[in-house]
Amino acid sequence: MDFNDPMLLLSSRIGQIGDLGFDLLWRFLHIVVSLFHIVSGIFEAIQSYAISLGLIQKYSSIDIEKLMCLAVVVDIEVARDVAKVVELLQWLKTIGVKQVGLFDSQGLLKKSKDMILEMVPGSVLLQETGEKDTPPDRKGIAIEFISSSDNKEAVVKAANILLQRHLKASHPEKDEGDNVFTESHLNEALRVVGENVHVPDLMLVYGPVRSHLGFPAWRLRYTEIVHMGSLKYMRYGSLLKAIHKFTGVRQNYGKSFLL
């Protein structure tokens, strides 16, 4: 480059100024977004604390009967913190939740189920409640321990049953459009193979990312999913708010409509 050329020198200066301007704009936007998250986090913490103290009246009453089954997904990194999981289950029991599916991808919580059941008074294994949806004690809580490997064989067997029924009912010469698998077909096939599947109405995810973290997708048919942040920093007010928000909507074929 010929720096003696005034036009080339001017063009170089303009390019440098433009790069500096974009860099300053990026830094400014980064600061604005960071401040927004900080302020939002402070507001959430204050609101959660106020809800915990009962200062916000609308969260004082929850129609818990609308929440038949709740799923709690815990990140594998914090699943070893049994004390935190027990505290969360005790909160759910206090709120009045009757049925909880507790999931971590590797089944670490399942290995500690005896200790967890012992540390949560009034808790029972969901399998021990038989065909009932809630434990015998109205003040108790039924817990199902779930991992990624659960029910896979049952799903394969149910799929084979549906396939055989489809092949028997299939008529290639007629396209009647009636070979459609519905939720009732899947439930019936699972019952045939002896699997009683509980589909959660609401899922609370405690982890670093907004994901179901490996929870069996075929059990998430009409499930509302809420990301709750890290289990280490869980708050009773945030838990109460999430459940209150779910019970305050009208369910219509799996879709939620605010009242």
pLDDT at 52: 76
User: 46: which residues sit within 8 A by CB, 6+ positions away?
Assistant: none
CB-CB neighbours of 147 under 10 Å: 19
pLDDT at 136: 47
β partners of residue 145 = 102
Q: DSSP for the chain? A: --TT-HHHHHHHHHHHHHHHHHHHHHHHHHHHHHHHHHHHHHHHHHHHHHHHTT-SGGGS---GGG---EEEEE-TTTTT-HHHHHHHHHHHHHHT--EEEEE-TT-HHHHTHHHHHHHSTTEEEGGGGTT-SS-SSTT-EEEEEE-TTTTHHHHHHHHHHHHHHHHHH--TT---S-----HHHHHHHHHHTT------SEEEEESSSSS-TT--GGG-SS-EEEEEE-GGG--HHHHHHHHHHHHTEEEETTEEEE-
Give, for all 259 residues of the chain, the pLDDT tens digit: 455 566 666 677 777 777 787 888 888 888 888 888 788 777 777 877 787 777 787 887 888 888 989 999 998 888 888 999 999 999 999 999 999 999 988 888 988 889 999 999 988 988 766 544 444 455 689 999 988 766 666 666 667 777 777 667 655 555 554 556 666 666 676 666 556 667 899 999 998 877 778 888 777 777 899 999 888 888 899 999 999 999 887 665 444 433 3
pLDDT at 259: 34
pLDDT at 81: 86
pLDDT at 88: 94
How many Cα atoms within 13 Å fall on the side-chain side of residue 245? 12
pLDDT at 131: 47
* Closest to 236 (Cα-Cα) out of 49, 41, 46, 60: 49
The C-alpha atoms of residue 173 and residue 171 are separated, in whole angstroms, by: 5
